């Protein structure tokens, strides 16, 4: 498959939309799905098993025995996807706050711009776009994005949108080699590792944010206020770690 899309799941039985995922594999013959069940304790495992049984050649499930957090679920999914020799690997939030119909826009950017390695969804509320976020998520998102931009050294608008697709390169592979320090900051840590390998100036030309046409704040989010506040503080730790790695492991830009 040309595209492997990883979907991390933890207790998603009430929010998962099986029909949407089946529609994707039916309409996109070059895209496979890899669900990572991160130790769910509801009916998620049974739901995913049924999905995989309907399209066994296109839908796979990795089952984690205990909950280790979204970051590790994504990382083990990427490590598995890398063995399948796909050209592009991405991850997508299971609640489909970003509809799967947007995936084609992401892949099109990678196809038409060989120098781009990372395409990220960006929730920019403007005329002609249907972006539905709670006031808390919007204002927290702006504060977090500012902190992340300063920490990463690039002008990113939205690090935390749960829809991203990567071109499989050696640098991208290495960005997922080691476990992430934070369960919630996988988006920032992946960017920090990538930027640390190339340097901010080079990385800035290889990352593309795509404004989403539609994004809906789906009830049942597992991000709570105390975690949000803690996450902003953790950005500083990620930044320091990235700077240290940058000084030790600079990769020449090809």
Strand ranges (DSSP E) for 39-102? 59-64, 88-92
d(CA 205, CA 225): 34
Confidence band of 139 (pLDDT split at 50, 70, 90): confident
- pTM, to two decimals: 0.89
Residue with the bigger pLDDT between 1 and 36: it is: 36
- Classify residue 101 by its DSSP letter: G
Tokens describing residue 229: 């506040």
Q: Is the pLDDT of residue 252 over 60?
A: no
d(CA 113, CA 26): 26
How confident is the model at residue 224, as a pLDDT?
55
Q: Closest by alpha carbon to 86, among 27, 37, 34, 160?
A: 34
Segments making up each domain of the chain, as ranges: 1-96, 98-254
Phi and psi at 180, nearest 5°, equal -85, 150
Q: List pLDDT tens digits, range 74-115.
A: 999 999 999 998 999 999 999 999 999 999 999 999 999 999
How confident is the model at residue 209, as a pLDDT?
97
How confident is the model at residue 249, as a pLDDT?
47
Say how far residue 153 (Cα) sits from the centre of its chain. 20
Q: List pLDDT tens digits, range 26-64.
A: 999 999 999 999 999 999 999 999 999 999 999 999 999
88, β-bridge pairs = 3, 167
Alpha-helical regions (H) of the chain: 18-27, 44-54, 70-82, 103-112, 135-152, 170-175, 186-198, 200-204, 225-248
Tokens describing residue 53: 């049984």
Q: List pLDDT tens digits, range 178-225.
A: 999 887 789 999 999 999 899 999 999 999 999 999 999 887 665 555
How confident is the model at residue 240, as a pLDDT?
64
Give yes or no for a contact between 159 and 192, defined as CB atoms under 8 angstroms apart: no
| CATH T-level fold of 1-96 | Spore Coat Polysaccharide Biosynthesis Protein SpsA; Chain A (3.90.550)
Give yes or no for a contact between 68 and 38, defined as CB atoms under 8 angstroms apart: yes
Count of CB atoms situated within 10 Å of the CB of 33: 25
Count of CB atoms situated within 10 Å of the CB of 23: 13
């Amino acid at each position: 498959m040309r595209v492997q899309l990883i979907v991390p799941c933890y207790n998603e039985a009430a929010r998962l939309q099986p029909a949407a995922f089946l529609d994707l594999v039916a309409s996109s013959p070059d895209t496979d799905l890899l669900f990572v069940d991160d130790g769910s304790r509801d009916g998620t495992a049974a739901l995913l098993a049924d999905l995989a049984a309907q399209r066994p050649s296109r839908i796979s499930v990795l089952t984690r025995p205990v909950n280790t957090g979204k970051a590790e679920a994504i990382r083990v999914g990427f490590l598995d996807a890398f063995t399948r020799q796909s050209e592009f690997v991405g991850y997508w939030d299971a609640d489909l706050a970003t509809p799967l119909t947007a995936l084609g826009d992401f892949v099109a950017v990678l196809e038409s711009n060989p120098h781009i390695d990372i395409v990220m969804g960006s929730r920019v509320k403007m005329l002609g776009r249907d972006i539905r976020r709670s006031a808390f998520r919007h204002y927290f998102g702006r504060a977090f994005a500012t902190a992340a931009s300063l920490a990463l050294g690039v002008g990113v608008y939205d690090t935390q949108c749960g829809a991203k697709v990567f071109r499989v390169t050696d640098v991208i592979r290495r960005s997922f080699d080691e476990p992430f320090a934070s369960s919630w900051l996988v988006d920032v840590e992946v960017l920090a590792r990538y930027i640390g390998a190339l340097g901010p100036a080079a990385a800035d030309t290889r990352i593309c944010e795509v404004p989403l046409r539609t994004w809906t704040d789906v009830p049942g989010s597992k991000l709570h206020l105390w975690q949000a506040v803690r996450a902003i503080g953790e950005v500083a730790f990620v930044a320091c770690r990235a700077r240290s790695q940058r000084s030790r492991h600079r990769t020449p830009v090809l």
